[in-house]
Chains A and B, each alone.
Chain A
Amino acid sequence: MTEHLEDKELLLQFKTEATREAAYTRIIKKYQEKLYWHIRRMVVEHEDANDVLQNMFIKVWKHLDNFREDSQLYTWMYRIATNECLSFLEKQKKRATTSMSGNEDYLSDKLAADKDFDGKKLEWKLQKAIQQLPEKQKAVFNLRYFEEMPYNEMSQVLETSEGALKASYHHAVKKIEDYILNH
């Protein structure tokens, strides 16, 4: 609850012209890492994650004045970040399918191109399995498995019912297990 109170104070400061930039800086410093890793797991490459994170924080600057405190600040920002990721991946997919290579498995390729990639290690194999999931299911799995986000908060982020999210997470875990066992 302390965190929530602090966010309320930051929102008030943001709405005051004199403290607007200071509040914005504090919001970024508070949430940048969590949001970055969420985005990074979705888009894989750092440069892409950096672009998406910047776009996301620009939207925060533009729309925070109109933020209605029906939800918590951080779930609102996670929603923006997730939507930015899904939009980015959709564009990337279209570009990949219309390119000469027509390679739709471009995220696995990007993963394999990482300088630290080791296909024999289980944690990298897990990442490869995650990249096989549909984009929204991938977001559900990441938010639950890595971010440890409760279903009620995830429901606000993804604007999906808790029941549907539980089912989606269940299916995701089974697919990943199957991938790890067979690769």
Chain B
Amino acid sequence: MNQPDNILQELQELSPILASVPRYNVFKAPEGYFEDFSSMMLLKIHAMEAPAVMAVPDGYFESLPATIMARIKMEEQSEVLAETREISATVAGIGNRNVFTVPEGYFESLKITTPETVSATAKVISMPKRFSIFKYAAAAVVTGMIAISAYFMLNNNSNMASSGSNQVAVVKKANQILENGSFDEELNTISDAAIVNFLESKGQDVEAALVASLTNEKELPTADEYLFDDNTLDNVLKTIDL
């Protein structure tokens, strides 16, 4: 760096024209650039050597599932849109924005019936009704038996002698019921369980007895009606109101 004369001499030998060109520095640096440069470099070095702290924005993980779902939905929509566009650019251009609205606060006030509440309601309402129906079914059977017993007694006095005293008492009671017409009162004194046990001990189908007690034979459909129309039996059951 201390040989300018040699350099100038070399240049004179190589190109006198170039040697005559003034060696001005045509470029300029911004004012104050060199004064601040070393401080700026130190700041840069400090920033560079500062340990990298990994951080995520506040609430990032809380909103991440919603963000992902929104993106999935967007991608699905874009697939649907592309498919629709292939079929009809006009329809695709309309978009799929929902034009319908609901009254304000509708969804907030909407109550959904859970399966638990349904079963609880069904238990409370249906069981007593079912047992009261059993009473009518049992009544029909019991009435029939009393009538048959009374008829048997009236027409077969000779057999009566061979029956026990209990049978006499039963017949007597039956006659009283027939005379007074007090079937309902007598029936109310018998428990539901006793009626069901009685029917089952006599080989009676409880369900069939129930249907039979509620049905007027004359109103039953004919074989043709229920064989050719699937709804016939459904309609009959509906009219019975089980």
Q: Which A residues form the contact surface with B (CB < 8 A)?
A: 21, 24-25, 28-29, 32-33, 36-37, 40-41, 44, 46, 50, 53-54, 57-58, 61, 114, 116, 122-124, 126-127, 144-150, 153, 170, 173-174, 176-177, 180-181
Contact = CB atoms under 8 A, between A and B. Distances in A.
Nearest to A117: B26
A148 B48 contact: no
A123 B22 contact: yes
Nearest to A150: B3
Contact of A124 (B18, B23, B26): B26
Given A28-B37, A116-B26, A147-B1, 15 more contacts: A21-B42, A24-B41, A24-B42, A40-B29, A44-B27, A46-B30, A50-B33, A53-B37, A54-B41, A123-B21, A124-B26, A144-B7, A177-B17, A180-B17, A180-B21
Nearest to B46: A21
29 contacts: A25-B38, A25-B39, A25-B42, A28-B37, A28-B38, A29-B38, A32-B34, A36-B33, A36-B34, A40-B27, A41-B27, A50-B33, A54-B44, A58-B41, A58-B44, A61-B45, A123-B23, A123-B26, A124-B26, A144-B7, A145-B7, A146-B23, A147-B1, A148-B4, A153-B1, A173-B11, A177-B15, A177-B17, A181-B17
B155 interface: no
B40 to A, nearest CB: 8
In order of increasing CB-CB distance, the 7 nearest A-B pairs are A28-B38, A177-B15, A173-B14, A123-B24, A25-B38, A173-B15, A148-B4
A181 B19 CA distance: 14
Contacts of B17: 177, 180-181
Contacts of A153: 1
Binding site secondary structure of chain B: helix
Nearest to A124: B26
Contacts of A37: 25, 27
A28 B7 CA distance: 28
Q: How large is the interface on B (under 10, 10 to 19, 20 to 34, 35 or more residues)?
A: 20 to 34
A46 B29 CA distance: 7
Contact of B18 (A24, A32, A176): A176
B28 interface: yes
Contacts of A33: 34
Contacts of A126: 18, 21
Contact of B7 (A40, A57, A148): A148
B144 to A, nearest CB: 107
A9 B146 CA distance: 133
A84 B122 CA distance: 87
